Structure 1
Amino acid sequence: MRIDRPGLAEAIRRARARIGPEAAGLPAGHHRRVPGLRREELALLAGISVDYVVRLEQARGPTPSQQVLTALGRALRLDTAGRNELFYLAGESPPTAGTIEMHVRPSVLRLIDRFVDLPTLVLSAKSDVLAWNAMASALLGDWSALPPGRRNIVRLRFLTDPADPIRSQVSASIAEQESTARQHVANLRTAAARYPSDQGLAELLADLRTGSTEFTQLWDEAEAGSWRSHTKTVRHPELGELILDCDTLHVPDVDQSVVVYSAAPGTPEAESLALLRVVGTQNLSRT
Protein backbone atom coordinates (compact mmCIF):
# COMPACT_ATOMS: atom_id res chain seq x y z
CA MET A 1 0.00 0.00 0.00
CA ARG A 2 1.11 3.56 -0.74
CA ILE A 3 0.86 6.45 1.67
CA ASP A 4 -1.86 9.03 1.03
CA ARG A 5 -0.11 12.07 2.49
CA PRO A 6 -2.92 14.62 1.92
CA GLY A 7 -5.50 12.22 3.31
CA LEU A 8 -3.37 11.44 6.37
CA ALA A 9 -2.73 15.14 6.97
CA GLU A 10 -6.43 15.95 6.82
CA ALA A 11 -7.35 13.06 9.13
CA ILE A 12 -4.86 14.22 11.78
CA ARG A 13 -5.94 17.87 11.56
CA ARG A 14 -9.60 16.90 11.75
CA ALA A 15 -9.10 14.68 14.78
CA ARG A 16 -6.87 17.21 16.56
CA ALA A 17 -9.50 19.93 16.21
CA ARG A 18 -12.14 17.66 17.70
CA ILE A 19 -10.50 16.85 21.04
CA GLY A 20 -9.74 19.26 23.87
CA PRO A 21 -6.85 19.07 26.33
CA GLU A 22 -8.98 18.10 29.32
CA ALA A 23 -10.32 15.09 27.42
CA ALA A 24 -6.73 13.98 26.85
CA GLY A 25 -5.76 14.27 30.52
CA LEU A 26 -3.97 17.61 30.10
CA PRO A 27 -4.59 20.85 31.99
CA ALA A 28 -6.83 23.13 29.93
CA GLY A 29 -4.96 26.36 30.61
CA HIS A 30 -6.24 29.78 29.66
CA HIS A 31 -6.42 32.05 26.62
CA ARG A 32 -6.85 29.27 24.06
CA ARG A 33 -7.52 30.87 20.68
CA VAL A 34 -8.82 27.73 18.98
CA PRO A 35 -10.63 24.61 20.21
CA GLY A 36 -8.94 21.24 20.16
CA LEU A 37 -5.41 20.12 20.91
CA ARG A 38 -2.47 22.30 20.00
CA ARG A 39 0.21 20.70 17.87
CA GLU A 40 2.55 20.90 20.85
CA GLU A 41 0.08 18.98 23.00
CA LEU A 42 -0.44 16.28 20.40
CA ALA A 43 3.32 15.91 20.05
CA LEU A 44 3.67 15.61 23.83
CA LEU A 45 0.99 12.94 24.13
CA ALA A 46 2.23 10.93 21.17
CA GLY A 47 5.91 11.22 22.07
CA ILE A 48 7.03 12.80 18.81
CA SER A 49 8.47 16.20 17.96
CA VAL A 50 6.31 19.20 17.16
CA ASP A 51 8.16 19.46 13.84
CA TYR A 52 7.06 15.89 13.04
CA VAL A 53 3.41 16.81 13.67
CA VAL A 54 3.79 19.93 11.50
CA ARG A 55 5.27 17.93 8.64
CA LEU A 56 2.55 15.28 8.88
CA GLU A 57 -0.17 17.94 8.78
CA GLN A 58 1.53 19.59 5.82
CA ALA A 59 1.55 16.27 3.92
CA ARG A 60 5.33 15.95 3.89
CA GLY A 61 8.11 14.31 5.85
CA PRO A 62 8.86 10.62 6.51
CA THR A 63 6.33 7.81 6.46
CA PRO A 64 5.19 7.28 10.08
CA SER A 65 5.93 3.92 11.68
CA GLN A 66 3.28 1.66 13.15
CA GLN A 67 4.39 2.78 16.64
CA VAL A 68 3.87 6.43 15.72
CA LEU A 69 0.49 5.71 14.14
CA THR A 70 -0.62 3.81 17.24
CA ALA A 71 0.51 6.66 19.48
CA LEU A 72 -1.27 9.24 17.32
CA GLY A 73 -4.51 7.25 17.31
CA ARG A 74 -4.38 6.91 21.09
CA ALA A 75 -3.50 10.57 21.67
CA LEU A 76 -6.31 11.68 19.36
CA ARG A 77 -8.79 9.35 21.10
CA LEU A 78 -9.84 7.75 17.85
CA ASP A 79 -12.11 4.74 17.79
CA THR A 80 -10.91 1.55 16.11
CA ALA A 81 -12.19 2.63 12.72
CA GLY A 82 -10.45 6.00 13.06
CA ARG A 83 -7.22 4.35 14.18
CA ASN A 84 -7.38 1.95 11.25
CA GLU A 85 -7.97 4.88 8.89
CA LEU A 86 -4.63 6.38 9.95
CA PHE A 87 -2.91 3.07 9.23
CA TYR A 88 -4.48 2.68 5.80
CA LEU A 89 -3.76 6.29 4.82
CA ALA A 90 -0.13 5.76 5.88
CA GLY A 91 0.09 2.63 3.73
CA GLU A 92 0.21 0.28 6.73
CA SER A 93 -1.94 -2.63 7.84
CA PRO A 94 -3.66 -2.16 11.24
CA PRO A 95 -2.55 -4.36 14.17
CA THR A 96 -3.61 -7.98 13.89
CA ALA A 97 -4.90 -10.56 16.33
CA GLY A 98 -2.29 -11.97 18.70
CA THR A 99 -0.73 -8.60 19.51
CA ILE A 100 -1.38 -6.58 22.65
CA GLU A 101 -4.10 -3.99 22.09
CA MET A 102 -2.62 -0.53 22.55
CA HIS A 103 -5.65 1.42 21.40
CA VAL A 104 -8.24 2.55 23.94
CA ARG A 105 -11.74 2.67 22.56
CA PRO A 106 -13.82 5.83 23.09
CA SER A 107 -16.33 4.15 25.42
CA VAL A 108 -13.54 3.38 27.91
CA LEU A 109 -12.20 6.93 27.57
CA ARG A 110 -15.67 8.29 28.30
CA LEU A 111 -15.76 6.11 31.39
CA ILE A 112 -12.53 7.50 32.84
CA ASP A 113 -13.66 11.04 31.99
CA ARG A 114 -16.63 10.56 34.33
CA PHE A 115 -14.31 9.82 37.26
CA VAL A 116 -13.63 13.54 37.73
CA ASP A 117 -12.95 13.09 41.47
CA LEU A 118 -10.86 9.92 41.21
CA PRO A 119 -7.42 9.28 39.69
CA THR A 120 -7.93 6.74 36.91
CA LEU A 121 -5.58 4.99 34.46
CA VAL A 122 -6.02 2.58 31.56
CA LEU A 123 -3.30 -0.09 31.31
CA SER A 124 -2.46 -2.47 28.49
CA ALA A 125 -1.88 -6.18 29.08
CA LYS A 126 1.82 -5.41 29.59
CA SER A 127 1.15 -2.45 31.90
CA ASP A 128 1.59 0.45 29.49
CA VAL A 129 -0.24 3.56 30.69
CA LEU A 130 -2.45 4.10 27.63
CA ALA A 131 -4.77 6.79 28.98
CA TRP A 132 -5.31 8.76 32.15
CA ASN A 133 -7.45 11.53 33.51
CA ALA A 134 -6.24 14.82 35.00
CA MET A 135 -6.58 13.46 38.55
CA ALA A 136 -4.18 10.59 37.76
CA SER A 137 -1.52 13.12 36.78
CA ALA A 138 -2.25 15.23 39.86
CA LEU A 139 -1.82 12.22 42.16
CA LEU A 140 0.99 10.29 40.51
CA GLY A 141 2.80 12.86 38.36
CA ASP A 142 2.21 14.28 34.90
CA TRP A 143 2.11 11.28 32.58
CA SER A 144 2.47 13.48 29.51
CA ALA A 145 5.87 14.65 30.83
CA LEU A 146 7.23 11.10 30.49
CA PRO A 147 8.45 9.86 27.10
CA PRO A 148 6.01 7.21 25.77
CA GLY A 149 8.61 4.48 26.25
CA ARG A 150 8.69 5.25 29.98
CA ARG A 151 4.89 5.21 30.37
CA ASN A 152 4.89 1.64 31.65
CA ILE A 153 4.44 1.01 35.35
CA VAL A 154 6.67 -2.08 35.37
CA ARG A 155 9.46 -0.23 33.60
CA LEU A 156 9.12 2.64 36.07
CA ARG A 157 9.21 0.20 38.99
CA PHE A 158 12.30 -1.80 38.00
CA LEU A 159 14.27 0.48 35.66
CA THR A 160 14.78 3.87 37.27
CA ASP A 161 15.96 6.79 35.18
CA PRO A 162 17.38 9.95 36.79
CA ALA A 163 16.01 11.94 33.84
CA ASP A 164 12.42 11.16 34.87
CA PRO A 165 10.50 14.11 36.37
CA ILE A 166 9.64 13.95 40.07
CA ARG A 167 6.76 11.57 40.65
CA SER A 168 4.82 10.21 43.59
CA GLN A 169 6.10 6.98 45.07
CA VAL A 170 3.54 4.19 44.92
CA SER A 171 3.78 1.39 47.50
CA ALA A 172 5.76 3.25 50.15
CA SER A 173 6.52 0.47 52.65
CA ILE A 174 9.04 -2.30 51.93
CA ALA A 175 6.41 -5.01 52.33
CA GLU A 176 4.07 -3.20 49.97
CA GLN A 177 6.86 -2.70 47.43
CA GLU A 178 7.70 -6.41 47.48
CA SER A 179 4.07 -7.42 47.07
CA THR A 180 3.52 -4.98 44.20
CA ALA A 181 6.72 -6.09 42.48
CA ARG A 182 5.58 -9.71 42.52
CA GLN A 183 2.20 -8.72 41.16
CA HIS A 184 3.88 -6.80 38.32
CA VAL A 185 5.93 -9.84 37.37
CA ALA A 186 3.01 -12.26 37.65
CA ASN A 187 0.92 -10.06 35.37
CA LEU A 188 3.72 -9.98 32.77
CA ARG A 189 4.00 -13.78 32.94
CA THR A 190 0.31 -13.99 32.06
CA ALA A 191 0.82 -11.56 29.17
CA ALA A 192 3.84 -13.49 27.89
CA ALA A 193 1.82 -16.70 27.77
CA ARG A 194 -1.09 -15.00 26.04
CA TYR A 195 0.93 -12.96 23.53
CA PRO A 196 4.06 -14.98 22.69
CA SER A 197 4.58 -13.14 19.38
CA ASP A 198 4.10 -9.56 20.60
CA GLN A 199 7.28 -7.65 19.76
CA GLY A 200 6.71 -4.84 22.25
CA LEU A 201 6.33 -7.31 25.10
CA ALA A 202 9.45 -9.18 24.05
CA GLU A 203 11.44 -5.94 24.03
CA LEU A 204 10.09 -4.95 27.46
CA LEU A 205 11.02 -8.31 28.97
CA ALA A 206 14.51 -8.16 27.43
CA ASP A 207 15.07 -4.68 28.88
CA LEU A 208 13.84 -5.74 32.31
CA ARG A 209 15.93 -8.91 32.44
CA THR A 210 19.02 -7.04 31.26
CA GLY A 211 18.62 -3.99 33.47
CA SER A 212 17.16 -5.31 36.74
CA THR A 213 18.56 -8.13 38.86
CA GLU A 214 15.49 -7.87 41.09
CA PHE A 215 13.15 -8.39 38.14
CA THR A 216 15.18 -11.33 36.82
CA GLN A 217 15.08 -13.07 40.19
CA LEU A 218 11.34 -12.54 40.53
CA TRP A 219 10.74 -13.64 36.94
CA ASP A 220 12.53 -16.92 37.60
CA GLU A 221 10.42 -17.50 40.71
CA ALA A 222 7.00 -16.04 39.93
CA GLU A 223 3.89 -17.76 38.67
CA ALA A 224 1.35 -16.18 36.34
CA GLY A 225 -1.26 -13.91 37.85
CA SER A 226 -3.40 -10.85 37.23
CA TRP A 227 -4.06 -7.45 38.79
CA ARG A 228 -6.03 -7.50 42.03
CA SER A 229 -7.82 -4.76 43.88
CA HIS A 230 -6.02 -3.75 47.09
CA THR A 231 -4.93 -0.83 49.25
CA LYS A 232 -1.93 1.25 48.17
CA THR A 233 0.15 3.86 49.92
CA VAL A 234 1.02 6.78 47.65
CA ARG A 235 3.73 9.15 48.84
CA HIS A 236 2.88 12.45 47.17
CA PRO A 237 5.72 15.02 47.06
CA GLU A 238 3.47 17.74 48.50
CA LEU A 239 0.66 15.98 50.37
CA GLY A 240 2.68 13.20 51.97
CA GLU A 241 1.45 9.63 52.40
CA LEU A 242 -2.07 8.80 51.24
CA ILE A 243 -3.56 5.36 51.88
CA LEU A 244 -5.96 4.75 49.01
CA ASP A 245 -8.14 1.95 47.72
CA CYS A 246 -6.90 0.79 44.32
CA ASP A 247 -9.52 -1.11 42.32
CA THR A 248 -8.85 -2.75 38.97
CA LEU A 249 -11.63 -3.21 36.43
CA HIS A 250 -10.88 -5.56 33.53
CA VAL A 251 -12.02 -4.82 29.97
CA PRO A 252 -11.91 -8.40 28.70
CA ASP A 253 -12.28 -8.11 24.93
CA VAL A 254 -9.25 -5.80 24.64
CA ASP A 255 -7.42 -7.23 27.69
CA GLN A 256 -6.97 -3.81 29.29
CA SER A 257 -7.35 -2.70 32.89
CA VAL A 258 -8.97 0.43 34.32
CA VAL A 259 -7.25 1.29 37.62
CA VAL A 260 -9.11 3.62 39.99
CA TYR A 261 -7.79 5.21 43.19
CA SER A 262 -10.32 6.30 45.81
CA ALA A 263 -10.81 7.05 49.50
CA ALA A 264 -13.72 6.69 51.89
CA PRO A 265 -15.75 9.89 52.45
CA GLY A 266 -14.70 11.95 55.45
CA THR A 267 -11.13 10.62 55.58
CA PRO A 268 -8.01 12.80 55.30
CA GLU A 269 -7.27 11.04 52.02
CA ALA A 270 -10.67 12.06 50.62
CA GLU A 271 -9.89 15.67 51.55
CA SER A 272 -6.50 15.40 49.83
CA LEU A 273 -8.09 14.08 46.65
CA ALA A 274 -10.55 16.98 46.73
CA LEU A 275 -7.62 19.38 47.01
CA LEU A 276 -5.85 17.68 44.11
CA ARG A 277 -8.90 18.16 41.92
CA VAL A 278 -8.73 21.91 42.54
CA VAL A 279 -5.00 22.49 42.10
CA GLY A 280 -4.22 19.72 39.59
CA THR A 281 -0.54 19.37 38.79
CA GLN A 282 0.43 22.76 40.24
CA ASN A 283 3.11 22.87 42.91
CA LEU A 284 0.97 22.76 46.04
CA SER A 285 3.57 24.55 48.13
CA ARG A 286 2.91 27.66 46.03
CA THR A 287 -0.88 27.68 46.48
Structure 2
Amino acid sequence: MDRAELADFLRRCRARLEPATVGLTAGARRRTPGLRREEVAQLTGASVDHYTRLEQGRGSRPSRQMLSALARALRLSEDERDHLFHLAGEEPPRARHGPTQHVRPGLLLVLDRLHDAPAQVYSDRGELLAQNAMAVALCGEVEPGENLTRLWFTVPAARRIFPPEDHAAHSLRHVAELRAVFAARPEDAQLAALVKELRASSEEFDALWTEHRVAVRRAETKRFLHPVVGLLELGCEVLLTADRGQRLVIHTATPGTETYERLRLLRVVGLQNFGPVAGPA
Protein backbone atom coordinates (compact mmCIF):
# COMPACT_ATOMS: atom_id res chain seq x y z
CA MET A 1 0.00 0.00 0.00
CA ASP A 2 1.39 3.39 -1.04
CA ARG A 3 -0.11 5.68 1.62
CA ALA A 4 1.41 8.90 0.28
CA GLU A 5 0.22 8.36 -3.29
CA LEU A 6 -3.19 7.17 -2.12
CA ALA A 7 -3.60 10.28 0.03
CA ASP A 8 -2.59 12.57 -2.84
CA PHE A 9 -4.93 10.85 -5.28
CA LEU A 10 -7.89 11.11 -2.89
CA ARG A 11 -7.25 14.79 -2.22
CA ARG A 12 -7.05 15.63 -5.93
CA CYS A 13 -10.17 13.65 -6.81
CA ARG A 14 -12.09 15.32 -4.00
CA ALA A 15 -10.95 18.80 -5.04
CA ARG A 16 -12.26 18.45 -8.59
CA LEU A 17 -15.84 17.63 -7.53
CA GLU A 18 -18.51 20.22 -6.82
CA PRO A 19 -21.32 19.40 -4.35
CA ALA A 20 -23.98 19.63 -7.07
CA THR A 21 -22.14 16.99 -9.08
CA VAL A 22 -22.87 14.38 -6.40
CA GLY A 23 -26.34 15.58 -5.48
CA LEU A 24 -25.38 17.76 -2.49
CA THR A 25 -26.21 21.42 -1.84
CA ALA A 26 -23.32 23.85 -1.72
CA GLY A 27 -24.39 25.40 1.58
CA ALA A 28 -22.21 28.07 3.17
CA ARG A 29 -19.41 29.79 1.28
CA ARG A 30 -16.42 27.53 0.72
CA ARG A 31 -12.83 28.58 1.09
CA THR A 32 -11.46 25.84 -1.14
CA PRO A 33 -12.80 24.13 -4.28
CA GLY A 34 -14.30 20.68 -4.27
CA LEU A 35 -16.04 18.57 -1.69
CA ARG A 36 -15.31 18.71 2.01
CA ARG A 37 -13.86 15.67 3.73
CA GLU A 38 -17.01 15.16 5.75
CA GLU A 39 -19.05 15.11 2.53
CA VAL A 40 -16.92 12.34 1.05
CA ALA A 41 -17.24 10.45 4.32
CA GLN A 42 -21.02 10.89 4.17
CA LEU A 43 -21.16 9.56 0.60
CA THR A 44 -19.08 6.49 1.47
CA GLY A 45 -20.69 5.72 4.82
CA ALA A 46 -17.30 6.02 6.57
CA SER A 47 -16.48 8.11 9.60
CA VAL A 48 -14.92 11.53 9.00
CA ASP A 49 -11.93 10.49 11.10
CA HIS A 50 -11.30 7.37 9.02
CA TYR A 51 -11.45 9.25 5.73
CA THR A 52 -9.30 12.10 7.07
CA ARG A 53 -6.62 9.62 8.08
CA LEU A 54 -6.59 8.19 4.56
CA GLU A 55 -6.06 11.66 3.09
CA GLN A 56 -3.30 12.34 5.59
CA GLY A 57 -1.46 9.14 4.65
CA ARG A 58 -1.75 7.60 8.10
CA GLY A 59 -4.87 5.48 7.86
CA SER A 60 -5.16 1.73 7.98
CA ARG A 61 -5.44 -0.20 4.74
CA PRO A 62 -8.96 0.40 3.39
CA SER A 63 -11.16 -2.61 2.71
CA ARG A 64 -12.26 -3.52 -0.80
CA GLN A 65 -15.76 -2.42 0.14
CA MET A 66 -14.43 0.97 1.21
CA LEU A 67 -12.43 1.33 -2.01
CA SER A 68 -15.52 0.60 -4.08
CA ALA A 69 -17.48 3.17 -2.05
CA LEU A 70 -14.74 5.75 -2.62
CA ALA A 71 -14.76 5.06 -6.37
CA ARG A 72 -18.52 5.72 -6.47
CA ALA A 73 -18.39 8.77 -4.22
CA LEU A 74 -15.55 10.41 -6.15
CA ARG A 75 -17.10 9.54 -9.52
CA LEU A 76 -14.00 7.70 -10.73
CA SER A 77 -13.70 6.22 -14.19
CA GLU A 78 -12.86 2.52 -14.46
CA ASP A 79 -9.19 3.36 -15.03
CA GLU A 80 -9.17 5.66 -12.00
CA ARG A 81 -10.93 3.03 -9.90
CA ASP A 82 -8.29 0.46 -10.86
CA HIS A 83 -5.57 2.98 -9.94
CA LEU A 84 -7.20 3.52 -6.55
CA PHE A 85 -7.20 -0.21 -5.85
CA HIS A 86 -3.56 -0.55 -6.93
CA LEU A 87 -2.48 2.29 -4.63
CA ALA A 88 -4.20 0.50 -1.74
CA GLY A 89 -2.36 -2.72 -2.58
CA GLU A 90 -5.47 -4.49 -3.89
CA GLU A 91 -6.27 -6.17 -7.17
CA PRO A 92 -9.04 -4.24 -8.96
CA PRO A 93 -12.37 -6.04 -9.26
CA ARG A 94 -12.78 -7.85 -12.56
CA ALA A 95 -16.01 -9.01 -14.11
CA ARG A 96 -16.04 -12.75 -14.61
CA HIS A 97 -17.58 -13.28 -18.03
CA GLY A 98 -20.04 -10.46 -17.48
CA PRO A 99 -20.36 -6.66 -17.56
CA THR A 100 -18.49 -4.57 -15.03
CA GLN A 101 -20.24 -3.59 -11.80
CA HIS A 102 -18.55 -0.21 -11.82
CA VAL A 103 -21.16 2.46 -12.57
CA ARG A 104 -19.94 5.05 -15.05
CA PRO A 105 -19.65 8.63 -13.68
CA GLY A 106 -22.11 9.86 -16.32
CA LEU A 107 -24.75 7.41 -15.15
CA LEU A 108 -24.19 8.41 -11.53
CA LEU A 109 -24.56 12.06 -12.56
CA VAL A 110 -27.98 11.30 -14.04
CA LEU A 111 -28.91 9.42 -10.86
CA ASP A 112 -27.95 12.40 -8.69
CA ARG A 113 -30.04 14.80 -10.81
CA LEU A 114 -33.23 12.86 -10.13
CA HIS A 115 -34.09 14.65 -6.90
CA ASP A 116 -37.83 13.95 -6.99
CA ALA A 117 -37.92 10.44 -8.47
CA PRO A 118 -36.73 7.17 -6.90
CA ALA A 119 -33.99 5.76 -9.14
CA GLN A 120 -31.56 2.85 -8.92
CA VAL A 121 -28.84 1.29 -11.07
CA TYR A 122 -28.75 -2.51 -11.41
CA SER A 123 -26.56 -5.00 -13.17
CA ASP A 124 -28.34 -7.41 -15.50
CA ARG A 125 -27.69 -10.15 -12.90
CA GLY A 126 -29.88 -8.19 -10.48
CA GLU A 127 -27.17 -6.65 -8.28
CA LEU A 128 -27.95 -3.21 -6.93
CA LEU A 129 -25.08 -0.90 -7.88
CA ALA A 130 -26.34 2.54 -6.79
CA GLN A 131 -29.50 4.25 -5.53
CA ASN A 132 -30.46 7.88 -4.99
CA ALA A 133 -31.92 9.36 -1.82
CA MET A 134 -35.51 8.98 -3.02
CA ALA A 135 -34.96 5.28 -3.73
CA VAL A 136 -33.62 4.84 -0.20
CA ALA A 137 -36.71 6.64 1.14
CA LEU A 138 -39.00 4.39 -0.91
CA CYS A 139 -37.33 0.99 -0.61
CA GLY A 140 -34.80 1.31 2.18
CA GLU A 141 -31.02 1.27 1.87
CA VAL A 142 -29.53 -1.81 0.23
CA GLU A 143 -25.84 -2.69 0.38
CA PRO A 144 -24.19 -2.03 -3.02
CA GLY A 145 -23.59 -5.35 -4.77
CA GLU A 146 -26.50 -7.08 -3.02
CA ASN A 147 -28.45 -9.25 -5.44
CA LEU A 148 -32.10 -8.28 -5.39
CA THR A 149 -33.31 -11.60 -6.79
CA ARG A 150 -31.57 -13.39 -3.93
CA LEU A 151 -33.15 -10.95 -1.48
CA TRP A 152 -36.60 -11.50 -2.95
CA PHE A 153 -36.51 -15.27 -2.64
CA THR A 154 -34.56 -15.65 0.61
CA VAL A 155 -35.43 -12.63 2.81
CA PRO A 156 -39.17 -12.33 3.60
CA ALA A 157 -38.81 -8.69 4.70
CA ALA A 158 -37.76 -7.76 1.16
CA ARG A 159 -41.37 -8.21 0.02
CA ARG A 160 -43.11 -6.02 2.56
CA ILE A 161 -43.00 -2.87 0.45
CA PHE A 162 -45.23 -4.51 -2.16
CA PRO A 163 -48.92 -5.45 -1.77
CA PRO A 164 -49.22 -9.22 -1.13
CA GLU A 165 -51.44 -9.71 -4.19
CA ASP A 166 -48.55 -8.47 -6.39
CA HIS A 167 -45.91 -10.87 -5.03
CA ALA A 168 -46.51 -13.64 -7.56
CA ALA A 169 -46.03 -11.27 -10.49
CA HIS A 170 -42.80 -9.93 -8.99
CA SER A 171 -41.49 -13.45 -8.44
CA LEU A 172 -42.19 -14.39 -12.04
CA ARG A 173 -40.52 -11.20 -13.33
CA HIS A 174 -37.37 -11.82 -11.30
CA VAL A 175 -37.01 -15.38 -12.59
CA ALA A 176 -37.91 -14.57 -16.20
CA GLU A 177 -35.34 -11.77 -16.35
CA LEU A 178 -32.66 -13.98 -14.86
CA ARG A 179 -33.54 -16.71 -17.38
CA ALA A 180 -32.95 -14.33 -20.29
CA VAL A 181 -29.54 -13.25 -18.99
CA PHE A 182 -28.56 -16.84 -18.17
CA ALA A 183 -29.20 -17.91 -21.77
CA ALA A 184 -27.22 -14.98 -23.14
CA ARG A 185 -24.17 -15.65 -20.94
CA PRO A 186 -23.92 -19.36 -20.14
CA GLU A 187 -20.21 -18.94 -19.34
CA ASP A 188 -20.91 -16.47 -16.49
CA ALA A 189 -19.76 -18.38 -13.39
CA GLN A 190 -21.35 -15.92 -10.94
CA LEU A 191 -24.70 -16.19 -12.67
CA ALA A 192 -24.59 -19.99 -12.75
CA ALA A 193 -23.72 -20.08 -9.05
CA LEU A 194 -26.63 -17.76 -8.24
CA VAL A 195 -29.12 -19.92 -10.11
CA LYS A 196 -27.81 -23.08 -8.44
CA GLU A 197 -28.03 -21.46 -5.01
CA LEU A 198 -31.58 -20.21 -5.48
CA ARG A 199 -32.86 -23.49 -6.92
CA ALA A 200 -31.54 -25.23 -3.83
CA SER A 201 -32.76 -22.67 -1.27
CA SER A 202 -36.16 -21.61 -2.65
CA GLU A 203 -38.90 -23.99 -3.78
CA GLU A 204 -40.74 -21.06 -5.35
CA PHE A 205 -37.72 -20.06 -7.42
CA ASP A 206 -37.08 -23.65 -8.50
CA ALA A 207 -40.69 -24.14 -9.60
CA LEU A 208 -40.67 -20.92 -11.64
CA TRP A 209 -37.28 -21.73 -13.13
CA THR A 210 -38.57 -25.02 -14.50
CA GLU A 211 -41.38 -23.16 -16.29
CA HIS A 212 -38.71 -21.58 -18.54
CA ARG A 213 -40.39 -18.17 -18.79
CA VAL A 214 -38.25 -15.42 -20.38
CA ALA A 215 -38.73 -11.66 -20.18
CA VAL A 216 -36.72 -8.45 -20.24
CA ARG A 217 -37.80 -5.59 -17.99
CA ARG A 218 -39.54 -2.76 -19.83
CA ALA A 219 -41.79 0.14 -18.88
CA GLU A 220 -44.52 -0.90 -16.45
CA THR A 221 -46.61 0.29 -13.51
CA LYS A 222 -45.66 -0.93 -10.04
CA ARG A 223 -47.36 -0.57 -6.69
CA PHE A 224 -45.43 0.15 -3.49
CA LEU A 225 -46.89 -0.07 0.02
CA HIS A 226 -44.87 2.46 1.99
CA PRO A 227 -45.19 2.35 5.81
CA VAL A 228 -45.51 6.14 6.12
CA VAL A 229 -47.11 7.60 2.97
CA GLY A 230 -49.20 4.57 1.99
CA LEU A 231 -49.86 3.04 -1.43
CA LEU A 232 -48.07 4.48 -4.46
CA GLU A 233 -48.71 3.47 -8.08
CA LEU A 234 -45.54 4.44 -9.92
CA GLY A 235 -44.54 4.27 -13.54
CA CYS A 236 -41.30 2.35 -14.04
CA GLU A 237 -38.96 3.39 -16.86
CA VAL A 238 -35.85 1.38 -17.70
CA LEU A 239 -32.80 2.84 -19.47
CA LEU A 240 -30.10 0.41 -20.60
CA THR A 241 -26.39 1.05 -21.07
CA ALA A 242 -24.88 0.43 -24.50
CA ASP A 243 -23.74 -3.09 -23.59
CA ARG A 244 -27.10 -3.74 -21.87
CA GLY A 245 -25.20 -4.90 -18.79
CA GLN A 246 -26.52 -2.13 -16.52
CA ARG A 247 -29.90 -0.48 -16.26
CA LEU A 248 -31.15 2.75 -14.71
CA VAL A 249 -34.64 2.20 -13.29
CA ILE A 250 -36.67 5.34 -12.61
CA HIS A 251 -40.03 5.47 -10.81
CA THR A 252 -42.34 8.40 -11.55
CA ALA A 253 -45.87 9.58 -10.73
CA THR A 254 -48.33 11.47 -12.93
CA PRO A 255 -48.78 15.09 -11.74
CA GLY A 256 -52.15 15.75 -10.17
CA THR A 257 -52.65 12.22 -8.92
CA GLU A 258 -52.82 11.08 -5.31
CA THR A 259 -49.61 9.11 -5.82
CA TYR A 260 -47.86 12.26 -7.04
CA GLU A 261 -48.75 14.07 -3.81
CA ARG A 262 -47.65 11.07 -1.74
CA LEU A 263 -44.34 10.96 -3.60
CA ARG A 264 -43.83 14.65 -2.80
CA LEU A 265 -44.54 13.87 0.85
CA LEU A 266 -42.03 11.02 0.73
CA ARG A 267 -39.37 13.45 -0.44
CA VAL A 268 -40.02 15.55 2.69
CA VAL A 269 -40.34 12.63 5.09
CA GLY A 270 -37.36 10.72 3.75
CA LEU A 271 -35.96 8.28 6.29
CA GLN A 272 -37.09 10.18 9.38
CA ASN A 273 -39.93 7.89 10.39
CA PHE A 274 -38.89 4.34 9.57
CA GLY A 275 -35.88 2.08 9.40
CA PRO A 276 -34.33 0.24 6.46
CA VAL A 277 -36.72 -1.74 4.31
CA ALA A 278 -34.12 -3.54 2.19
CA GLY A 279 -36.59 -4.29 -0.54
CA PRO A 280 -35.96 -4.70 -4.27
CA ALA A 281 -37.51 -2.34 -6.77
TM class, shorter-chain normalised?
0.7 to 0.9
Moved more, 262-271 or 241-250: 241-250
SS in 2 for 1:131: strand
Runs of 5+ in structure 1 lacking a partner? none
SS in 1 for 2:195: helix
**Partner residue, 2:42:** 41
Q: Note closer, same or farther for the CA distance 1:113–1:282 as it changes in structure 2 (3 Å cut).
A: same
2: distance between equivalents of 1:208 and 1:147?
Answer: 19
Deviation of 1:250 after TM superposition, in Å, equals 1.4
Is the contact made by 1:74 and 1:130 (CA closer than 8 Å) also made in structure 2?
A: no
Deviation of 1:267 after TM superposition, in Å, equals 0.3
Moved more, 86-95 or 229-238: 86-95
Is the contact made by 1:24 and 1:133 (CA closer than 8 Å) also made in structure 2?
A: no
Amino acid at match of 1:172: P
Identity %, equivalent residues: 41
**Partner residue, 1:74:** 72
**Partner residue, 1:192:** 182
Is the contact made by 1:120 and 1:133 (CA closer than 8 Å) also made in structure 2?
A: yes
TM-score (norm 2): 0.77
**Partner residue, 1:121:** 120
**Equivalent in 141, 144, 153 of residue 148 of structure 2:** 153
**Partner residue, 2:137:** 138
Q: Does 1:87 align with 2:85?
A: yes
CA-atom RMSD, angstroms? 3.6
1:151-197 CA distance string (max 9 Å, x none):
332122111166xxxx78444142x3212211111222233334444
1: distance between equivalents of 2:122 and 2:266?
Answer: 22
2: distance between equivalents of 1:195 and 1:49?
Answer: 39
Q: Does 1:260 align with 2:244?
A: no
SS in 2 for 1:8: helix
**Partner residue, 1:112:** 111
2: distance between equivalents of 1:118 and 1:138?
Answer: 10
Runs of 5+ in structure 2 lacking a partner? 275-281
1: distance between equivalents of 2:62 and 2:115?
Answer: 38
2: distance between equivalents of 1:216 and 1:110?
Answer: 38
**Partner residue, 2:200:** 210
**Partner residue, 1:172:** 163
